[in-house]
Amino acid sequence: HQRDHPDFLFLLAQLSERQGRVANAGELYERLIERCPNNAHFHLGFAQYLKIQDRADDAERHFRRSITLEPTLLEAKYYLAMLLLSTGRHGEAVAYGEGLVSANKRQSKYWELLAAAHQRSDQLQSAISICERGLSFCPKSPRLSYSLAQLLRERCDFERAALAYQAAKELGFQSPALYQNYSEAL
């Protein structure tokens, strides 16, 4: 029956989640994992759901299961690294970030993650270098330019920070913080 097909259940779980029917989404994800325990994408979807529900330990378990099942699934590694970063495990986040940027140097969010992990590990100069290197591969990334500006400002390199804020602005980055930080750097 089509209603019991795993792909249909997966879409239904995602739809329920987006509609705010979290209990229903959770039940659907659990049913899906029970029926298809070796599908990396289903574990990834469930992990993302669990993370939003503030169930970090359960989310981590499913992110890791997803990676075990499909080691080349960069999205799972990225979200696991973000979870590790948010739970203070910066060293592990650095390791995943390094793997991500070596797998795909053109994905700016991987560079941002790696820079943030270095920054939170009190390696400000490394974080700056990572942003600069990332911009050599992703020169049109407004968020990466903004991240560089923030790091330069933190190091009190206001002249270079202002240039990076200007670049972020010209690339389309918009936020009240950008204008405030840019004006303070100037």
Q: Give me the residue label for tokens 């705010």.
A: 20
Looking at residue 70, what DSSP letter applies?
Answer: -
**Each residue's pLDDT tens digit, 118-152:** 999 999 999 999 999 999 999 999 999 999 999 99
C-alpha to C-alpha distance for 26 and 76, rounded to whole angstroms: 19
Looking at residue 103, what DSSP letter applies?
Answer: H
78: CB partners within 8 A, 6+ apart: 96, 100, 109, 110, 113
Nearest to 71 by CA among 30, 33, 43, 110: 43
C-alpha to C-alpha distance for 12 and 4, rounded to whole angstroms: 11
Mean pLDDT score of the chain, rounded to an integer?
A: 95
What pLDDT is attached to residue 112? 97
Element holding 73 (H helix, E strand): none
What pLDDT is attached to residue 29? 93
Listed in sequence order, the DSSP H helices in 36-175 are 40-52, 56-69, 74-86, 90-103, 108-120, 124-137, 142-154, 158-170
What pLDDT is attached to residue 12? 86
Residue 97 · residue 107 · CB < 8 Å: no
167: CB partners within 8 A, 6+ apart: 145, 149
